[in-house]
Amino acid sequence: MEEIRRLGDAELEIMQIVWANKKPITSKEILLRIRQRVWRLSTLITVLNRLSDKGYLYCDRTMRENLYSALIMQSSYLYRENKIFLEKLYDNSLCKFMTSLCDSKAVSKEELVKVRDYLNSFVEENPGE
């Protein structure tokens, strides 16, 4: 698997906008959708260029306005981040992670029921794995 570099908070926010859009997006459209902070267009362009340099974005400069599209799928990034999170904090144990969530009451009973139902259906659909 290719090395995927970790994103900072601002970069992740921008990538989430690009991933959610599904089609190429302009910097002005991104600027309108940013919620966590107030940005100037020049600052956004700097971050977009950094994301391009890291290999996350492709910038199509053939149109009047640059169009940005993702080069790395969101699922690939999430897989990597989840793997690192479990390894660093929970010794690669989903059970330890879930125990921590339950003990801290960080998730609702409704969410736990959804997780249980998902796991039950997953086991039923994938016997012997």
Q: How many domains does the chain divide into?
A: 2
Say which CATH number the domain at 83 has: 1.10.10.10
The predicted pLDDT at position 2 comes to: 53
Query: Residues 49-60: pLDDT tens digits?
Result: 999 999 999 999
β strands within 48-107, DSSP E: 57-60, 67-70
Average confidence (pLDDT) over 113-123: 89
Output 7 or 6, whichever has higher pLDDT. 7
Are 84 and 59 in a shared domain? yes
Spatial neighbors of 67 by CB under 8 A, at least 6 apart, are 24, 25, 26, 59, 60
Q: Are 121 and 77 part of one and the same domain?
A: no
pLDDT attached to residue 1: 39
Same domain, 68 and 86: yes
pLDDT of residue 36 exceeding 80, the answer is no
Q: Provide the domain limits for residue 107.
A: 93-129
Q: Is the pLDDT of residue 13 over 80?
A: yes
